[in-house]
A and B are shown apart, each in its own frame.
Chain A
């Protein structure tokens, strides 16, 4: 059974870097069939695609995040991670990791999400 689980600090100071990890079980992140994605949702608001990584290490990011995002794979631990730099209060959100089938794909498995608050 495929499962994804986010982990990382729940509180980050403004201007610092948000770092989260998604641990995957039931499927290898090295599978060429899937992309591994981060999506966020500000409290009470809608969903925003952040970006994804492929098993080759190839990435795509949302231009709205203006170069602040890095997503990477750790195949030895079957994980992938998100780094978002220079955070502000606007980055406060529930962060979800998810799996999508193909570079242009729907999201068939999601983690439970983790709330990250940006505050001093």
Chain B
């Protein structure tokens, strides 16, 4: 199985400031034949199911605010929130869908400082 490791486990950021969450995979999730990284990011607010934010490592899902962006390739990825809003308080997960079983990172809890 591909192991996904996120850092940090928790993060406190002031409103309006940048938040950065990292995700590392135990092997590359870049599929050479289509040059795509099989990596997604989800946001889970308390008591709700996860919500898809980013797929193919950097493609924003429809309706997701443009303050959310994804970057990286191969084994190292980053989710950036450019200007933190109060409604962004949540747990964030990365997920690889390069191979079965699909696996998730352990989650990063984002709070307001």
- Count, chain B residues at interface, CB 8 A: 23
Q: Are B50 and A46 interface neighbours, CB within 8 A?
A: no
Q: Which residues of A have CB within 8 Å of B105? A: 46
The smallest beta-carbon distance between B25 and chain A, in angstroms, is 14
* Minimum CB distance partner of A110 in chain B: B49
A-B contact count (CB 8 A): 52
- Count, chain A residues at interface, CB 8 A: 21
Q: Are B49 and A96 interface neighbours, CB within 8 A?
A: yes
8 A Cβ contacts from A78-108 to B: 96, 98, 100, 103-108
Using CB atoms and an 8 Å cutoff, list the residues of chain A in contact with chain B.
Answer: 46-49, 60, 62-64, 96, 98, 100, 103-108, 110-113
Q: 8 closest pairs, A vs B, by CB?
A: A106-B40, A110-B49, A106-B55, A47-B104, A62-B101, A49-B102, A104-B97, A46-B106
16 A-B contact pairs sorted by A residue (CB < 8 Å): A46-B93, A46-B104, A46-B106, A49-B104, A60-B101, A104-B38, A104-B98, A106-B40, A106-B97, A107-B50, A107-B52, A107-B95, A108-B61, A110-B50, A110-B51, A112-B48
Using CB atoms and an 8 Å cutoff, list the residues of chain B in contact with chain A.
Answer: 38, 40, 42, 48-52, 55, 61, 93, 95, 97-107
